[in-house]
């Protein structure tokens, strides 16, 4: 497998990520891997490479998102908040709880209960067949 530390067209990929995340309604969450699955892989990229790197790229996009993107609604494949250097985990939890999302005693979100099912079919053209929590390396 080739090592891709960032998408070939980072700005374009990030915009696609943010467009997807803007659709996640209050009180719902999604995962890095699920968002990656909604975005077709870059031209010429092997699907196996994209499945391995897409979720990480979504994480990078979320770390740089504009203020109008509901960043708090993206969690890891285990339904947990992914901590970043500099914190933000408590703020993310507070925002989600204010939207009605509940955490278990193990600090997880029940993805079966709170997972966003994705955009309507017309928006999903070119999407990968993933479900919440499916993506390899989603964190």
C-alpha distances in angstroms, 63 versus 14, 73, 99, 118? Answer: 10, 13, 21, 21
pLDDT the model gives residue 34: 96
Ramachandran category for residue 70: left, alpha or beta (phi over 0 → left; psi -120 to 50 → alpha): beta
92-138 pLDDT tens trace? 999 999 999 999 999 999 999 999 999 866 555 555 554 455 444 44
Residue 88 or 115, more confident: 115
52-62 pLDDT tens trace? 999 999 999 99
Architecture of domain 10-114: Orthogonal Bundle (1.10)
List strand residue ranges (DSSP E) for the chain, in order.
30-31, 74-75
Contact 135, 58 (CB under 8 A): no
pLDDT-derived band at 79 (thresholds 50, 70, 90) equals: very high
Contact 109, 96 (CB under 8 A): yes
Average pLDDT over the chain reads 86
Query: Which are the contacts of 89, defined by CB distance < 8 A and separation ≥ 6?
Result: 81, 83
Segments making up each domain of the chain, as ranges: 10-114
Q: Is this model's pTM higher than 0.75 or not? A: yes
């Amino acid at each position: 497998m080739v090592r891709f530390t960032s998408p070939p067209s980072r700005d374009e990929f990030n915009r696609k990520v943010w467009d997807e995340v803007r659709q996640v309604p209050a009180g719902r969450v999604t995962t890095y891997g699920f968002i990656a699955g909604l975005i077709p892989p870059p031209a010429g990229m092997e699907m196996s490479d994209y499945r391995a790197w897409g979720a990480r790229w979504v994480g990078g996009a979320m770390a740089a998102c504009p203020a109008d993107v509901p960043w708090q609604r993206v969690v890891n494949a285990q339904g947990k908040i992914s901590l970043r250097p500099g914190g933000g985990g408590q703020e993310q939890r507070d925002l989600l709880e204010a939207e009605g999302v509940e955490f278990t005693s193990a600090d997880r979100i029940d993805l079966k209960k709170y997972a966003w099912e994705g955009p309507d079919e017309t928006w999903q053209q070119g999407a990968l067949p993933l479900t919440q929590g499916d993506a390899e390396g989603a964190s």
